[in-house]
Chains A and B, each alone.
Chain A
Amino acid sequence: MTDLLNMMGIVKEFPGVRALDGVDLDVRAGEVHCLLGQNGAGKSTLIRVLTGAHQPDAGMIRINDEAVQLNSPTAAIQRGIAAIYQELDLVPDLTVAENIFLGHEPSRYGFSRTHEANTKARSILQGLGHPEIPTHRSVGSLPAAGQQVVSMARALSREARLIVMDEPSAVLDPEEVSNLFRVIRGLTDSGVAVVYISHRLEEIREIGDRVTVLKDGATVATGLDARETPTKELIQLMTGRSIEYVFPPRNEVPDTAPVVLEVVDLSRPGEFAGVGFDVRAGEILGLAGLVGSGRSEVLETLYGARRAATGFVRVDGAVLRPGRVQDAVKAGVGLAPEERKSQALLLDEAVFKNITVSTLGRFASSGFLNSRAEREEARKLAVALDVRPAGVDQPVRNLSGGNQQKVVLARWLLRECRVLLLDEPTRGVDVGARSEIYGLIRSLASNGVAIVLVSSEVEEVLGLSDRVVVLREGRAVHTGPAQEIDEHQVLDLVMEGSAR
């Protein structure tokens, strides 16, 4: 088989960072080529070079043995390269069909042909196994999984020869993922190459053919067999050290530990109903469920970011007014939201400002801030949580996903939260940093914080929590200690509503 794409010695520098330092990547037609690497290893930058969004400072790109210059995204598209980005790049107010054909709308004499676009879009969606997505609806009204499908349909509408998928499974349910794999297999059978990026090794084993591993902006291994290469070896290549994917040991939560958070009969029409649970100081409670089961909604409601229709939330015995974030924060509740970048971080602001933003009052006397004290406290936390790079004056944007998450945790740590709500705490966090985040969460609990954890990874919920609540279609179908239930039982509950 000949190579469809060769990238050789790609170098890309940004002010202050050498993001890529000699990357090689060979992709054959009809294969699924997996790209592995920790956050900050340079995967995203490499993809941006490949899709023409960035210009490399050195190196060569060959497509079908022909040296090419990808000066712009348009140039890459013309060469048959399409990408599905991690942060979906759709226009929310345009319709599904308009998004799919954005930039190459079916037209005649300059007038767009809506009917033709809709028909074509429908047939592409059909091929993707999603004929139910209405082509005339606006993309913003679709759920995340639906948007992902539209994004993929857009890539297909370009008749791409090589499709880059940057963590396509991050927002998908297990069922959706298997559908995605079916689509990918269909693509590769027709000779399309797929570059697949994911943090989930099991997915790579299932769908991948070959693996290239990046570390610190350079290729450390290429052409590895996706199915046969041992996990240990892959992790070692990615991290440069050998670690197991481990959860910290649980600590006993005595029955005498005070109940810090009480959630009673919480409901929001169309989202969830009658959800209730208690969390004691030092306890980690996991919420498991599929996308759309209401798990994130429950979390946001008890934080006050959504207003509960019925039911109430008590922290240390005091009832929180519904729909008031300020109340929750005052009572000592903190939220690390699912969408870190859009919901938690001020990306262009310095690390220390992101850490202190919820605790400004402590650093101020009659409104005046003492920046030195702020930096000092932030620096202590950054060191304690091992945020890298260590400088607290650089913008948060420069940090990797795992380190950004640490900044969010540091914010609530500084506030000395009583209750911490974690929504997908390891989303977009690489394998090496995950264990660190797990350890951090557990040590917070050991210090008496009550923690509610939401994760789409059942393994994570079970491994980290003391107790689990399983949600299915907005209702709690099971509550019990995490040790007494296994992954299969949870999946049964989530899919069927009962444990077999």
Chain B
Amino acid sequence: MSEANTTEEGGTTASKQDTVTLPARPRSRTDLLRSGFGRNLGLVVALVVLCLVGVATAGDTFATGANVLTILRLAAVVGVVSVGMTFVITGGGIDLSVGAMVALASVWATTLATQQLAVDYGWIFMVSTALVVGAACGLVNGLLVAYGKIVPFVATLAMLASARGLAEIISDRRTQIITVNSFADFFGGSLIGVPVLIWIFLLVAAAGWVVLNRTTFGRRTFAVGGNAEAARLAGIEVQRHTVALYVLAGLCCGIAAVMLMARTTTGSSTHGQLYELDAIAAVVIGGTLLSGGRGTIVGTVFGVLIFTTLNNVFTLNNLSISAQSVAKGAIIVVAVLLQQRLARRSTSS
């Protein structure tokens, strides 16, 4: 017995030494690439390159404070949508209905009735209407996916169609002008020189990062997206969690609707057109896996900034929207190719 013990201990120390010395060498490089900073490094470089191109081609108009704020203001709306999308995709789903939910929320929040309430009791009524509409649509999505067992792609595709349709019915396909001055004043205003819209984007992104990385909700999101069966057997309420993810995405759409209403001072059934593609593209090039289980808010924010800056540079150079689309597609492909190379490197062991 005592002999066996000593040999066993000998084995232990030997293998511990192995594990200490072996991994040190080849890891350092991949570790850096895999760490949050390293993964985002590529995105930072891409953004910097874009900015350099902007400065080189349209330096006098691009590199101004006003233009930077314009870029950020444009990025803010789709950015908030993308934060919600990051949660859904990390949790193993997808939401195609975000643009339609933005439209429906904006229309519902700008009907004459809602605006009258806002005039009487304050703009908070318009905001809460938008948020409730967004969250309710998300709830329907979530229930269909989690309990109706409909594939997320299909369930949210149905919502995409019907939410925009409902928005058209409510608005009678007319653009609804916002006449509530207090609303326009608050959301159109600035705080310490920075537009309120940008503050909202920053807040949502920061909150999203905290929730995803520092809370039980976030941890469960990774678990559900990474291995739903294991999560279920570990005692996580997978269905309830899935519903919560879609509600969160819907809520983000409600916030985005408010921001869009402020930027355009209208509510319209054509708002948020193709937001689903912009948001998914931003999430994917940011480094979130479409198959779920891995996601990053910081990456998503960079993804949004890259696309918005690209638009801005193209617009300043008087290039067509079509050319922008081509460049967008190319960026998506390159980013995903790079991402796959990293993923392969990290799972090959």
- Measured CB to CB, the residues of A under 8 A from B are 13-19, 216, 239-243, 303, 305, 325-326, 328-330, 335, 337, 342-349, 353, 357-358, 360-361, 364, 367-369, 371, 386, 388-391, 397-398, 411
Contact = CB atoms under 8 A, between A and B. Distances in A.
B291 to A, nearest CB: 11
Nearest to A329: B235
Contacts of B223: 346, 349, 353, 357
Interface in B212-244: 214-220, 222-223, 226-227, 229-237
Nearest to B20: A389
Interface stretch (B7-15, B50-58, B266-274): B7-15
B22 interface: yes
Interface of B: 4, 7-8, 10-12, 15-16, 18-19, 22-23, 26-27, 30, 210, 214-220, 222-223, 226-227, 229-237, 293-294, 345-349
Given A305-B232, A325-B235, A357-B234, A367 B8 contact: no
7 contacts: A17-B349, A18-B22, A329-B234, A330-B235, A347-B226, A369-B216, A389-B19
A267 to B, nearest CB: 22
A353 B222 CA distance: 10
The 7 closest A-B pairs by CB, nearest first: A329-B235, A14-B349, A389-B19, A16-B23, A360-B216, A241-B7, A367-B215
Contacts of B349: 14-17, 19, 397-398
Given A17-B22, A343-B229, A390-B16, A358 B27 contact: no
B219 A353 contact: yes
Contacts of A346: 222-223, 226-227, 230-231, 293
B30 to A, nearest CB: 5
A interface SS class:
mixed
Given A16-B349, A357-B231, A388-B15, A326 B23 contact: no
Nearest to B33: A15
Contact of A364 (B216, B237, B294, B346): B216
Contacts of B217: 367
A349 B26 CA distance: 21
Contacts of A353: 219, 222-223
Contact of A344 (B26, B230, B236): B230
A243 B4 contact: yes
B233 A325 contact: yes
Given A16-B30, A369-B218, 8 more contacts: A17-B23, A19-B349, A239-B11, A329-B235, A346-B293, A358-B235, A368-B214, A397-B347
B222 A241 contact: no
Contact of A335 (B10, B19, B233, B293): B233
Given A242-B7, A342-B229, A348-B226, A369 B345 contact: no
A18 B215 CA distance: 36
A358 B219 CA distance: 11
Nearest to A328: B235
A51 to B, nearest CB: 16
A344 B233 contact: yes
Nearest to A239: B11
B222 A349 contact: yes
A53 to B, nearest CB: 11
Nearest to B34: A15
A390 B11 contact: no
A347 B234 contact: no
A29 B52 CA distance: 65
B219 A15 contact: no
A241 B14 CA distance: 12
B67 to A, nearest CB: 38
Contacts, number: 118
Contacts of B347: 348, 397
B207 to A, nearest CB: 12
Given A15-B345, A242-B4, A390-B16, A342 B230 contact: yes
Contacts of A326: 235, 237
A398 B23 CA distance: 12
Nearest to B229: A343
Nearest to A415: B235
Given A16-B349, A358-B235, A347 B227 contact: yes
A369 B293 CA distance: 18
Contacts of A216: 18
B128 to A, nearest CB: 23
A369 B219 contact: yes
Nearest to A216: B18
A363 B149 CA distance: 32
A357 B18 CA distance: 29
Give the most central of A16, A19, A364, A369: most B CB within 10 Å: A16
Given A241-B7, A241-B11, A397-B347, A343 B230 contact: yes
Contacts of A239: 11
A388 B22 CA distance: 13
A339 to B, nearest CB: 9
A361 B218 CA distance: 13
B27 A15 contact: yes
A342 B220 contact: no
B215 A358 contact: no
Contacts of B8: 241, 243
Given A16-B23, A16-B349, A343 B233 contact: yes
Contacts of B16: 388, 390
Given A348-B294, A390-B16, A15 B26 contact: yes
A361 B26 contact: no
B311 to A, nearest CB: 34
Contacts of A13: 26
A397 B15 CA distance: 19
A47 to B, nearest CB: 15
Contacts of A305: 232-233
Contacts of A411: 234
Nearest to A333: B235
Contacts of B7: 241-242
Nearest to B227: A346
Contacts of A328: 235
A361 B216 contact: yes
B234 A344 contact: yes
Contacts of A358: 234-236
Contacts of A335: 233
A18 to B, nearest CB: 7
Contacts of A243: 4, 8
Most buried by B among A325, A346, A397: A346
Contacts of A364: 215-216
Contact of B227 (A15, A342, A391): A342
A411 B236 CA distance: 13
Contacts of B23: 16-17, 389
A391 B20 CA distance: 10
Given A241-B7, A357-B236, A388-B19, A369 B214 contact: yes
Given A17-B349, A342-B227, A367-B216, A348 B11 contact: no
Nearest to A363: B216
Contacts of B234: 329, 344, 357-358, 411
Contact of B233 (A241, A337, A361): A337
A481 B222 CA distance: 44
